[in-house]
Structure 1
Amino acid sequence: MVASLVVLYGNAVLLYRVPLTWSRWWCKVAHAGLLLVAIVLSLLGVRAAFDFHSANNIPHLYSLHSWIGISTVTLFILQWCVGLGAFLLPWSPLTFRAFLKPIHTWMGMAIFILSLISSLSGINQKLLLTLNGRNGSNTEPYTALPTEAVFANSLGLLVVIFGLVVLKILFNQEWKNPEFEQESNRPLLADAR
Structure 2
Amino acid sequence: MSMIFEAHNILNEHQSNRLFNGVLAASQLFGILTVLSVAIWMGGYNEGGFAWSEDPEKQFHYHPTFMSMGLIFLFGEAAIVYRVFRHERKRFTKLLHMAIHSTALIFMFIALKAVLDSHDYHVGPNGKIAPIPNFFSIHSWIGILTIIAYILQYIFGFVTYLFPGLNMDLRKFSLPFHQLFGVIILIAVTLTALMGITERSAWKHTCWTKHGELCSQQLIANFLGICIIGYTSCILFIVLNPRWRRKPLPEEESLQPLSAD
Same structural fold, with TM-score higher than 0.5 when normalized by the shorter chain: yes
- Provide Cα deviations, 1:77-124, integer angstroms capped at 9, x if missing partner: 111111101100245222221221111111111111111011111111
- Provide Cα deviations, 1:34-75, integer angstroms capped at 9, x if missing partner: 000001101111111111111232210111111111111111
> What does residue 117 of structure 1 align with?
191
Q: TM-score, normalised by structure 2?
A: 0.64
> What does residue 134 of structure 2 align with?
60
- Provide Cα deviations, 1:113-155, integer angstroms capped at 9, x if missing partner: 11101111111110011113xxxxxxx3443122221111101
Alpha-carbon spacing, 1:91–1:18, altered in 2? closer, same or farther (3 Å) = closer
Whole-angstrom distance in 1 between the partners of 2:201 and 2:226: 14
Matched, 1:18 2:84: yes
Whichever of the two has the greater Rg, that structure is: 2
Q: What is the aligned-residue RMSD (CA, Å)?
A: 1.9
Q: Runs of 5+ in structure 2 lacking a partner?
A: 1-66, 123-130
Whole-angstrom distance in 2 between the partners of 1:111 and 1:165: 15
> What does residue 131 of structure 1 align with?
205
Q: How many pairs were matched up?
A: 178
Whole-angstrom distance in 1 between the partners of 2:141 and 2:180: 21
Alpha-carbon spacing, 1:174–1:91, altered in 2? closer, same or farther (3 Å) = closer
Alpha-carbon spacing, 1:91–1:154, altered in 2? closer, same or farther (3 Å) = closer
Moved more, 87-96 or 123-132: 87-96
Q: Runs of 5+ in structure 1 lacking a partner?
A: 133-139, 187-193
Aligned positions of 1:1-193 closer than 5 A: 1-56=67-122, 57-132=131-206, 140-142=207-209, 143-179=212-248, 184-185=257-258
Whole-angstrom distance in 2 between the partners of 1:123 and 1:102: 32
Fraction of identical pairs, as percent: 28
- Provide Cα deviations, 1:161-185, integer angstroms capped at 9, x if missing partner: 01111111111122112228x7745
Equivalent residues of 2:248, 2:257 under 8 A apart: no
Alpha-carbon spacing, 1:39–1:165, altered in 2? closer, same or farther (3 Å) = same
